[in-house]
């Protein structure tokens, strides 16, 4: 463990990374919980349990909650969400005709499967040209307001016709609340926090959580970092956003990934977790993510030249990665450069947490890749 920490800390230092909380687990025990603090940032907390804005690392948790709630209520994944959240049926499809954005009626009912698999037609304002243009023209509400008004943005393709990354998990959260009669956070407590003893994971952080949130930095084009913690409301909004509103800690998220590993080890094909790790989009393919807001995200090609697909809440790599990750593993990323993977074949999962914009910064992708490689080098069971 000492050699691992020496190597990874040296990597983080060479890449000028401000701070990282990192951890590795298998299905029976937590292998490592570590922190890196760059000495050039002397005001950083040495707290080993600081709270992070998880952003889109919220999605696998919301996927699990959705599957659990649907199962408890005897609802089919292909059932229409409009039965429970009628306003979703009012969404039109926006499309471009020349330089003009036009709209047409959506005649395909949006199902829970569509929302979970990102085939519902929803998009993100920073990844889609039409939604980005509508936001610029103030035709739709921005996500940063903190309420659910951004969910009224139009679709950009017919549900079920292709894969497209978007805000669909926000609708899943609303559907969970409608079905259960309680908040998304209460469902989180019932299905995950209480069973797994997740003590600092929430959609509704208290003032104490606000005070212990990790700082958030913006990486300038020249490589300098500025603290923008006060300008970002992710994880602090009154709306419980199922696609990115979670706050958590390294320890708690490792427990969640360990739970996924244990569930996959049970090898029950019909289990809730097994559905998350199954290809749910057929041959549609997962497209690269183009940036329409360079202050938030860089362009990102996920695992170039690797066959990949989407499960529920997880990107699935169909082939092994150079890092050592096995085929059919699951992973995803959060907007503030948080990353994780779950490799059930090797019985290993890892978490990399920092709080830096823009997302997919090359130096941070390199830091995560090196962390993963070293994890397999030192911790993979022979």
The tally of CA atoms less than 13 A away on the side-chain side of residue 16 is: 10
Map out the domains of the chain as residue ranges: 2-78+172-379
pLDDT along the chain (382 residues), means of 10: 92 97 96 96 88 96 98 97 98 96 97 98 97 96 89 98 97 97 97 96 77 90 90 79 95 98 81 94 94 93 93 97 97 97 97 97 96 95 72
The residues that bridge with 226 in the sheet, in sequence order, are 218
Which residue bears the tokens 């701070």? 19
Contacts of 23 (CB under 8 A, 6+ apart): 30, 31, 32, 33, 34, 250, 251, 253, 254, 350, 351
Whole-number pLDDT of residue 208: 56
Contact 112, 71 (CB under 8 A): no
Whole-number pLDDT of residue 270: 64
What is the rounded CA–CA span in Å between residue 212 and residue 215?
9
Q: In what order do the strands lie in the sheet with 19-25?
A: 30-37, 19-25, 348-353, 338-343, 329-334, 315-317, 308-310
117 CB-contact burial (10 Å; exposed 0-12 / middle 13-18 / buried 19+): buried
Whole-number pLDDT of residue 382: 64
The tally of CA atoms less than 13 A away on the side-chain side of residue 369 is: 13
Token duo for residue 117: 């698999």
Whole-number pLDDT of residue 212: 80
Whole-number pLDDT of residue 204: 86
Token duo for residue 290: 């183009």
Contact 349, 329 (CB under 8 A): no
Question: Superfamily for 2-78+172-379?
Answer: DD-peptidase/beta-lactamase superfamily (3.40.710.10)
Whole-number pLDDT of residue 106: 98
236 CB-contact burial (10 Å; exposed 0-12 / middle 13-18 / buried 19+): middle
What is the rounded CA–CA span in Å between residue 310 and residue 281?
6
Whole-number pLDDT of residue 207: 59
């Amino acid at each position: 463990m000492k050699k691992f920490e020496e190597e990874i800390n040296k990597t983080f230092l060479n890449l000028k990374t401000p701070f990282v909380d990192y951890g590795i687990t298998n299905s029976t025990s937590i292998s490592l919980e570590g922190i890196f603090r760059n000495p050039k940032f002397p005001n950083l907390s040495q707290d080993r349990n600081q709270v992070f804005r998880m952003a889109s690392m919220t999605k696998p948790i919301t996927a699990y909650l959705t599957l659990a709630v649907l199962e408890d209520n005897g609802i089919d994944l292909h059932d229409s969400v409009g039965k429970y959240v009628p306003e979703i049926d009012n969404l039109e499809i926006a499309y471009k005709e020349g330089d003009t954005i036009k709209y047409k009626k959506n005649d395909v009912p949006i199902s829970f499967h569509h929302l979970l698999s990102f085939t519902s037609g929803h998009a993100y304002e920073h990844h889609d040209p039409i939604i980005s243009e509508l936001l610029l023209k103030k035709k739709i509400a921005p996500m940063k307001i903190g309420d659910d008004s951004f969910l009224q943005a139009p679709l950009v393709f017919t549900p079920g016709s292709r894969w497209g990354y978007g805000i669909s998990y926000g609708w899943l959260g609303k559907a969970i609340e409608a079905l259960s009669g309680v908040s998304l956070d209460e469902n989180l407590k019932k299905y995950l926090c209480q069973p797994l003893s997740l003590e600092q994971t929430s959609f509704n952080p208290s003032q104490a959580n606000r005070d212990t949130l990790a700082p958030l930095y913006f990486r300038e084009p020249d490589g300098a970092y500025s603290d923008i913690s006060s300008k970002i409301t992710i994880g602090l909004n009154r709306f419980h956003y199922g696609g990115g509103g979670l706050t958590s800690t390294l320890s708690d998220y490792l427990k969640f990934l360990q739970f996924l590993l244990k569930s996959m080890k049970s090898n029950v094909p019909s289990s809730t977790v097994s559905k998350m790790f199954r290809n749910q989009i057929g041959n549609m393919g997962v497209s690269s993510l183009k940036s329409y807001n360079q202050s938030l995200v860089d362009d990102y090609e996920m695992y170039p030249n690797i066959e990949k697909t989407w499960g529920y809440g997880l990107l699935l790599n169909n082939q092994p990665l150079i890092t050592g990750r096995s085929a059919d593993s699951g992973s995803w990323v959060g907007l503030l450069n948080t990353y994780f993977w779950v490799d059930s074949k090797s019985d290993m999962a890892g978490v990399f947490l920092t709080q830096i914009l823009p997302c997919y910064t090359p130096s941070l992708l390199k830091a995560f890749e090196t962390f993963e490689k070293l994890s397999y080098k030192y911790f993979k069971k022979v």
